[in-house]
Every structure is written in structure tokens, then in C-alpha cells.
Chain A
Amino acid sequence: MKQFRKMVYPYLIWSTVMIAVPMLLILLYAFTVGGNSVSKFMFSFANFKRFLTDKTFLVVLYRSLRIAVETTVVCVLLGYPTAYIIAKFTEKVKMRWVLLITLPTWINMLVRTYAWTGILQDDGVINSILSFFGAGPITFMYTDFAVILGMVYNFLPFMVIQIYTSLTKMDYSLIEAACDLGANPRKCFTKVTLPLSMPGVISGITLVFLPSVSSFCIPRMLGGGSYVMVGTIIESQFLTAGDWNFGSAISLIMAIIIMISMYITKKVDKGEKLEGAQV
């Protein structure tokens, strides 16, 4: 095995240059003030103070977290049954369904989201159909509904595939054993299947929550320019305001929030596992 260890080096170099160095730069910028040139920096907590003491920013932070949590919950509620049903099919049918689920991700995300603006517009597809029946028009565009719909649509495949994988990897004989020992199908599901598929749900939550909380493209396209999320503020600090220090500080705050929430989900996961083992 030892001779293969060398093969890790290219990856190590790559991840150092592409991940570690930028992260360190963000760290450096976040704790300094004095412009975008690294040469004349001064250590300071001012950027954090500015974010955490301003009510507007905190409201935006709350909204971003709320939208991300709502997106994740909807993804779990839709994704789990979907994955469960797919996992029950025969091998050949399964593959077809997995292909169908992942197919949309082959197309660029922006293009797909633009398509939604056409569907949800006041004179779009849905409202045209509604007006044919004499109903509507209902305003979908530039609402919470449109933003969450867009995010769920874009991130759902990640959830389904994660849960599906953990469901198919599961040892089916455990369920048979549970049934043999007198558990009814419902108990079988809640005591065996669900706990065993939790790792998939957890990694699905991670894959959905992370991009939703920092997303700025989908909120802008479906929520309009006044739909401000944390990602929007970070983007504007780097691209229009040119205040990289403040932008980095917000990124760092987001990173910390995400790390904490990951830690909590991991804890919950472990707790559930113990409970599952007691059956």
C-alpha cells in the first residue's frame, strides 16, 4: 500500500492551493481593515461588529436561514418518499428513475431557473392556464413561494440520490427479521428502515442546506432584486462596494454558522443511531 501514498500528493497540492490558501486569505481579510491591498492591513474586529450590530443585516441573515431551512424541509418531505418508492422497484426500473431524477442537472442551473421565470410570470404558462378557466392571475414571481420552489427544484435531486443510495445499500434481511419477529410494516419502517437510512438523509440535508443558505442567483432571478439574502450582500461587497474586508467577514460568519449546524446534525445522527441499536 505504501507505494500508492505518493499518488495523494497532487491532490494535496491542489487542495492546498485551491482551498486552503483562499480560505486563509478570507480569514486575513475578515480580521483586517484598510482596503483590498493585503500589504497595508490593520488587525480589527470592526467588520464583525458592523455586521452583528446592524439590525438590517441580522434580518437578512434570519431570512436566509429561514429560507434555507424551509427548502431543506420540503426537500426531505418530497425526497424521502420518492427515494423510498424508487428503491422498491426492480434493478432495471430503478436505473431509469435515477436517470430521470438526475437528468435535469445536466442542463445549466441558470437556464432551468430562467425557464421557471417564464412559467411563473404574471402572463406566464400557469397564469395563462388559470385565465383559460377564468381564474387568477396569481402573482408567483418575486415571492417567497417562487424562491423556495426554485431552490427545491434545483436541489431536490441531491436529496433523492443520497437517500436512495442509503436505502439500497441497506441489508434487507434486517427488515425480514423484524417482520418475522412480529413487527407490523409501520413499526418495521420507523424502527429499522428509517434509522438505517438516516446517514443518507443527513448527507442530503447537508447537500441541500449548504447551497440554499448561500445562494444568491436563484433568489435574484425568482425573488427579484429586492430579495436580499446573505449571499447577495457578500456578492455586492466584492463586486460593487469593493469592500473585501467586510465581504470576507460575512463569509466567515456564514462558514461558522454552517459548521455549527453540521455539528448539530452529526450529533442528532449519532443519537438516532444509538436509539436504533436498542431495538
Chain B
Amino acid sequence: MKKKGLLVLFAGILMTLGLAGCGAKEKLKIYLPGEYMSDDLVPDFEKKYGVKVDVELFDSNEMMYTKVMAGDNYDVLIPSDYMIERLIKEDYLQKLDTSKISNYGKIVSDIRKAPYNGYDPAGEYSVPYFWGTVGIVYNEKNVPSSEVEEKGFGIMKDTKYAGKIYMYDSERDSFMIAFKDLGYSMNTNNEDEINAAYDWLVELNTTMDPTTVTDEVIDGMAQGRKDLAIVYSGDAAYILSENEDMRYYTPSYGTNVWVDAMVIPKNASNPELAYKFIDYVISYDAAMGNTEAVGYASVNSDVLNEVTKEGGLYDGNEAYVPRTGYDKDEVFTDNEFLRKKLSELWIKVKASK
């Protein structure tokens, strides 16, 4: 999940305030991560259907969960895979009638297959929004490609590059690279494996002097401030388009693949309009504008083909299209034991510096 800055949240609140106060139009309330939608999408939708959309932004899936569980109701949410799995388990989401979504057939078929579909195997509750992977962005001038390919995530512990790395401040993503480098599943329940991953991260934190950030990594790598970073594919696509020295690599021994998708809660006040909105988001024009603005891989197959074909916006950008066909790639699954454990251990990893 892409945590976005508080500044964005602040801007979002201002935006919501600014939009409030229109007449008695039909209303739609959506809740999505910050900096994760083209600025034109909502106004265009409002114009097309003569409705009014309230946009609220969240910093993290967990923050969204806390808010919806406290009783706030929305018509459309855009959480990540593991959070959708949790919401399905807790009986919070409506089953979708895909016949109401005319563009449903346009969705890239890979997203509906393993490993991407793990959170909602039959696709009954969610319509994909963006999808991607997690990998290493590195500066080719200072870090040879062969070395990155040989070591995978282990390169983050190569003391040659001490002080030159960004870690992503999220327990899930940091433990993921440790689990994968040790050859474990990132959804493990095995305490020994969790402890081994913890030691892996503590060693990294004490020997590598990493800079642990969230969104700052995007600007930092685009400016070439460091040589190595753990980055989401969509952010990596942006970094690569800004700085031609930067390359993206996903280790062949497996990484985290993910899908963020649109869902309709059971307590939605306007589900019909929610269907229209979801259909609009994945329609060709809206999806094109969205992927151009945000940089994450589109779920609309026509759009994906268009931007990656020769001369397209993301032609030759190795970070843009999420990979398929690696059997060790996994989506996160909802696992309360692991979630609590990692959250506590991550604080300890960071405090170990």
C-alpha cells in the first residue's frame, strides 16, 4: 500500500471542503489513498453524470480500516489486497454484480489469476484499480546490474553501499524482503522464520546506516541522492522516467505482488452510483488519464497495451508492467498474528540503530 504524505492528506481535506456546498445533486462518497488518482478523474465523472463526489484520502489501509469500523460509511473504497481479504472475512463488503460494469471484460486477465487474485479468488467482491510489484531501484552507474541480479534483496546488506540506501518505512514491505531473501514465504506463521527475518533486518539497520522513509524515496531516487532503494513498481516507473541512470529489478526468487481494488461496503448509501463510478474508472479514457498521472500499471488491457507499445508513454520502462510467471511471487494475506508481531518487531528494528 502506498502511504502518502500528510501534506497530501491536508490538501485532500482542503479539496473536500472546497467541493462541499454544491446543490442537491446525487452524492457519492469515496475513500482512497492520497496521491493515487488523477486530478481530472473525479471532476470529469461529476460532469458526465451530473453528480457530486466527496473524496476522502487515507494514509494507510489500517487507518482506513479504523475509520470504516468506527462507523463512517462510504460508497467506494480502494484498499489493498490483504485489507480487502480482511473486509470480506468480516462480512463488510457487498458481492458485486459484474453485469452492471460494462468495462469489466477489459480487465487484464493476469490479475484474475494466481498469484494476483489470492485475496478474492473468484473476483466476487472487488474490481482491480492498480496492480504492481515491489522491487529494487538502483543507480546503474554506481551499482552494477550483474551484482543486483546475483544478490537480489541481499544487496541491501552489502556494506560497500552503506549509507547509500533507502528502506521503506513499512513493516510489511521490509519484512517481505527479509523473508524472500531467506527463502521463506512472507505469509509465514513460523516463529523461527520470523525471528530470522528480524535478525536479518537488525543486521541491515546496524551495518548499513539506511535512511528509512516513505514517499521521500520517490523524490530522493529521482534526484539520485542514494544508490539503492526498495520501491513499489509504480513509483519506480516514475523514478525511471525522471532519472535515466536508475534501473528496476525484482529478484527471481520471488517478491511481493499486489493489487489495489475498488470495493463497495454493505452500508453504502448509493451503490448504483458506485457501480457507475467503478465502471467509469476502468473505462479507456479515464484509465488512460489515471495511469499517465499516477504511474502505476493500468488494469485496462487496452490502456496497458497502448502505453507500453513502441513510442508509448511507458515504452521501455521495465518497472511499469508487473511481471507474471514467477511461482515464488506472493500477495500478502490477512494474518492477524503476523501483523501484530511484525508491527512490534519493526519498531524494535528501527530503534536498534
Roughly how many angstroms separate A39 CA and B340 CA in the complex, as a whole number? 21
A278 within 8 A of B: no
Q: Is there an interface contact between B10 and A110, defined as CB atoms closer than 8 Å? A: yes
Q: Which of B110-118, B145-153, B289-297, B342-350 contacts A (4 or more CB under 8 A)?
A: B342-350
Q: Is there an interface contact between B340 and A242, defined as CB atoms closer than 8 Å? A: yes
Q: Enumerate chain B residues within 8 angstroms of A142, measured Cβ to Cβ.
A: 211
> Per-residue CB proximity of B283-303 to A under 8 Å, as 1/0?
000000000000000000000
> Per-residue CB proximity of B214-239 to A under 8 Å, as 1/0?
10100000010100000000000000
Q: Is there an interface contact between B7 and A239, defined as CB atoms closer than 8 Å? A: no
Q: Which of A2-10, A41-49, A192-200, A228-236 contacts B (4 or more CB under 8 A)?
A: A228-236
A123 within 8 A of B: yes
We find that the number of chain B residues with CB closer than 8 angstroms to chain A is 32
Within the complex, which residue of A110, A217, A228 is in contact with B350, where a contact is CB–CB below 8 Å?
A228
Q: Is there an interface contact between B344 and A224, defined as CB atoms closer than 8 Å? A: no
Q: Is there an interface contact between B350 and A225, defined as CB atoms closer than 8 Å? A: yes
The minimal Cβ–Cβ distance linking B204 to chain A, given in whole angstroms, is 11
The minimal Cβ–Cβ distance linking A132 to chain B, given in whole angstroms, is 19
Q: Enumerate chain A residues within 8 angstroms of B214, measured Cβ to Cβ.
A: 225
B103 within 8 A of A: no
Q: Enumerate chain B residues within 8 angstroms of A228, measured Cβ to Cβ.
A: 347, 350-351
> Which B329-346 residues have C-beta < 8 A from chain A?
339-340, 343-344, 346
Within the complex, which residue of A122, A123, A226 is in contact with B169, where a contact is CB–CB below 8 Å?
A226
Given A110-B10, A123-B223, A224-B211, answer yes or no on A56-B339 (Cβ-Cβ < 8 Å).
no
Q: Is there an interface contact between B66 and A225, defined as CB atoms closer than 8 Å? A: no
The minimal Cβ–Cβ distance linking B85 to chain A, given in whole angstroms, is 15
Q: Is there an interface contact between A224 and B6, defined as CB atoms closer than 8 Å? A: no
Q: Is there an interface contact between A239 and B339, defined as CB atoms closer than 8 Å? A: no
Q: Enumerate chain B residues within 8 angstroms of A243, measured Cβ to Cβ.
A: 340, 343
Within the complex, which residue of B6, B205, B223, B344 is in contact with A241, where a contact is CB–CB below 8 Å?
B344
Nearest CB to that of A237 among chain B residues? B343
The minimal Cβ–Cβ distance linking B183 to chain A, given in whole angstroms, is 26
A254 within 8 A of B: no
The minimal Cβ–Cβ distance linking B186 to chain A, given in whole angstroms, is 16
Given A108-B10, A238-B66, A242-B339, answer yes or no on A60-B211 (Cβ-Cβ < 8 Å).
no
> Per-residue CB proximity of B195-221 to A under 8 Å, as 1/0?
000000000010000111110100000
B353 within 8 A of A: yes
Q: Which of B59, B213, B214, B351 has the most CB of A within 10 A?
A: B351
Q: Enumerate chain B residues within 8 angstroms of A117, measured Cβ to Cβ.
A: 216
Residues of A within 8 A of B (CB): 56, 59-60, 108, 110-111, 114, 117, 121-123, 142, 217, 224-228, 232-233, 236-243
Closest 9 CB pairs of A and B: A225-B169, A241-B343, A225-B212, A226-B212, A226-B350, A56-B348, A228-B351, A240-B62, A228-B350
